[in-house]
Structure 1
Amino acid sequence: MQASSQYQPKRLIRPNVVAERLGISKTTLYRMVNAGKLPAPVRISSQCTGWPEDVIDTFIAERQQEVR
């Protein structure tokens, strides 16, 4: 088996980290989710959510391309 075909777990990042990376408040973060501008978070437990880090990285990269 090749190393590149092995499963790589996705890191989940919590709302406060996502908001900080985007430079927005948590309130604005959830407004963006409700408006469909940002993918919905993954439920980790009954009171805990997070986003796969690669989803947020892609979101940021797409926004940077829109500006250029």
Structure 2
Amino acid sequence: MQPQPQDRILRIKAVLALTGLTRSTLYRKMEAGTFPKNTRISTRCMGWRESAVSQWLDNLKAQEAAVRPRA
């Protein structure tokens, strides 16, 4: 059994770079419940758990694969 990697907190720039979303689209998706909510790191700082963002990306890939016709 392999040890679980540490679940890092990603800042907004890292999340935008990983997902390719714009800031406004990211917040719209959070409001709609289709993107993981952010968590407060400090008084003026928010972040997202890397595991939640990775899981969202994996689910997106799975949905695309299910829709894509097989050749």
Q: Which runs of 5+ in 1 are unaligned?
A: none
- Alignment of structure 1 residues 1-68 onto 2, 5 Å: 4=3, 9-68=6-65
**Which position in structure 1 is the counterpart of 2:68?**
none
Within 2, Cα distance between the matches of 1:29 and 1:21? Answer: 12
Partner secondary structure for residue 59 of structure 1: helix
SS state of the match for residue 40, structure 2?
strand
When normalised by structure 1's length, the TM-score is: 0.82
Alpha-carbon distance, 1:9 to partner: 3.7
% same residue? 28
SS in structure 2 at match of 1:18: helix
Name structure 2 gaps, 5 residues minimum: 66-71
Q: Give per-residue Cα distances to partners, 1:15-65, cap 9 Å, x unaligned.
A: 111111111111111111011111110110111111111111110001000
**RMSD value, Cα:** 1.7
Normalised by the length of structure 2, the TM-score is 0.79
